[in-house]
Amino acid sequence: MDGKKKHRKESFSIFKNWGNLTPFHSVPADSFGIKSETGPEVPDGCTLKGVHILHRHGARYPTGWPGYATPGMLASRFHRAASTGQGIKAHGPLAFLNTWTYKLGTEVLTPFGRQQLFDLGVSMRMKYGSLLEGFTDRLPVFRTESQDRMLASATNFALGFFGWPLDNKFLLSVTVEANGVNNTLAPYKTCPNDSNPLIGDRGTYYVKQWVSVYLVDAQQRIQSLLEGYELSMEDLYAMQMMCAYETVSLGYSSFCSLFTKDEWEGFEYALDLYFWYDSGFGSPVARALGSGYVLELLSRLTSTPISLHPEPPLTSTFSVNHTLDGNPTTFPLDQPLYVDATHEVVIVNIVTALNLTTISGLEEDGPPTPRKMKRGRKWRASRVAPFASNVQFQLLQCPAVDSDATQIRVILNDAVVSLTGISGCPEQKDGLCPVDKFVEAQQKLVEGSDWDWTCHGNWTVPEGDAWSTVTGDPPAKYDV
């Protein structure tokens, strides 16, 4: 075999450098610490017993809330400049701006996003359709939230999985996504501390620092093509955002060709920084926010109802909705197949809560820094939480590995995740771990997380590097 071909690096694609705005793709097989010979398929000698699927919604239009470098903000600035004074005049590759208009919607799925979830449903049916044989006297229960794009994503997934019509094919349990309503698929809604920008929006600080590094040349180059408007670093970053959003919404964007390969790699790294510090291992609330879903996963894996207190206070629930999770109609514990829909930030929260350190790249790379980008890094938002991202927790019987114990295996966007960061899970060529060892380790991790202190405690942290975490935990009570 040609050695160069054997070790060839993944070729550059602009579409794979958009962080959480990246369209779903099968990520490189060795992305998460292991390269299983069978890939995401059931290993030879194993039998599929069940699967728990957690997926993100499909491609959407920009969110409506104000933030740093939003496409809507950029469009408003260009519009104001064009309609005052001498207006603006663009030249060369930027000449399209002279007649450009903003065409993006807000919040809901794009047509491409609907297609993504339909395709995901088809893919999961082809892989796991045999598990429907376990539903002889009942219908499968899938879960989602009440937000429009979440309902649409769950419905399009179901259309791909079951086919039309959907009548009498499955039941959809919908949890209200609103402030104060417990919901493990949108846990931030019951975590007041997450709304403090110093706590819940730590990533933006690092993005701004990095933008001022990697877009210096772009500012000079693109500004030379524009009269009547002075481009800020935020504008340039927003133009890259516009490229990604227009592409997944309209199919094409003239903004994309304005930037070089290095600048697109810099854009991806900006979003890596954002999600590490906003929702991942560098966030002080990530572990607690992801622990609610982990509790539900443990409940399902052990067929044990989540413990109910007579009057559980909000602060002790880990965002678990005990009304729904205590009802076997809305939260059954004996299904061979589970499907839940959520947001990208929650997937990153859950990766952190599960302590999937082989995804974090901490051992190899350390925490990401806004001063310099490491090109061969492990942590990439485009691989962890792209549009239509999905996690598959496979349950397998593998006599050659263990004649008795059921094994669990984690697949993230078609790459097997090494579970060696989880206590008791062995280094195994296909990423297998005995379910009982996995459950024991996850129970200890949840017990070590403090929802009350994390989400309701009287604490804060300074901006930037003056304080840090690599476990997704807040400062300890005695440190405050």
**Both 367 and 233 in a single domain?**
no
Contacts of 477 (CB under 8 A, 6+ apart): 453, 457
pLDDT in tens, the chain (480 residues): 333 344 446 789 999 999 999 999 999 999 999 998 899 999 999 999 999 999 999 999 999 888 999 999 999 999 999 998 788 999 999 999 999 999 999 999 999 999 999 999 999 999 999 999 999 999 999 999 999 999 999 999 999 999 999 999 999 999 999 999 999 999 999 999 999 999 999 999 999 999 999 999 999 999 999 999 999 999 999 999 999 999 999 999 999 999 999 999 999 999 999 999 999 999 999 999 999 999 999 999 999 988 643 344 334 679 999 999 999 999 999 999 999 999 999 999 999 999 999 999 998 999 999 999 999 999 999 999 999 999 999 999 999 888 789 999 999 999 999 999 999 999 999 999 999 999 999 999 998 999 999 999 999 999 999 999 999 999 998 776
Residue 409 lies in a domain: yes
**Both 377 and 243 in a single domain?**
no
Q: Are 374 and 265 in contact (CB under 8 A)?
A: no
**Both 314 and 381 in a single domain?**
yes
What pLDDT shows up at residue 84?
86
**Both 181 and 222 in a single domain?**
no
**Both 362 and 430 in a single domain?**
yes
Q: Of 229, 260, 291, which residue constitutes the final position of a domain?
A: 260
The residue among 143, 153, 184, 151 whose CA lies nearest residue 24 is 153
**Both 219 and 346 in a single domain?**
no
Residue type, 156: N
- Alpha helix stretches (DSSP H) within 344-434: 344-353, 357-360, 362-365, 381-384
Query: What crossing angle do the helices spanning 261-278 and 203-214 adopt, rounded to 10°?
Result: 160
Residue 470 lies in a domain: no
What pLDDT shows up at residue 66?
84
**Both 55 and 128 in a single domain?**
yes
Residue 425 lies in a domain: yes
Residue 225 lies in a domain: yes
Residue 479 lies in a domain: no
Spatial distance between the Cα atoms of 243 and 93, rounded to a whole number of angstroms: 14
Residue 206 lies in a domain: yes
**Both 122 and 210 in a single domain?**
no
Output the CA torsion sign for 257, 260, 265, 267. Answer: negative
Separation of CA 430 from chain center: 23
Domain that holds residue 115: 11-61+109-199+276-458
DSSP per-residue codes, 28-68: PTTTTS---TTTTSPPTT-EEEEEEEEEE---BPPPSS--T
What pLDDT shows up at residue 315?
42
**Both 44 and 101 in a single domain?**
no
Number of Cα atoms under 13 Å in the Cβ half of residue 401: 22
Residue 444, H or E segment:
helix 435-447
**Both 76 and 150 in a single domain?**
no
Spatial distance between the Cα atoms of 297 and 319, rounded to a whole number of angstroms: 14
DSSP per-residue codes, 254-294: TTGGGS-HHHHHHHHHHHHHHHHHHTSTT-SSHHHHHHHHH
Contacts of 204 (CB under 8 A, 6+ apart): 67, 68, 197, 274, 278
Q: Are 46 and 402 in contact (CB under 8 A)?
A: no
Q: Are 235 and 218 in contact (CB under 8 A)?
A: no
Residue 171, H or E segment:
strand 171-175
The CATH number of residue 48's host domain is: 3.40.50.1240
The residue among 381, 397, 390, 467 whose CA lies nearest residue 432 is 397
Residue 268 lies in a domain: no
Residue 1 lies in a domain: no
**Both 120 and 155 in a single domain?**
yes
Beta-carbon neighbour count of residue 90 at 10 Å? 19
**Both 114 and 103 in a single domain?**
no
Q: How many domains does the chain have?
A: 2
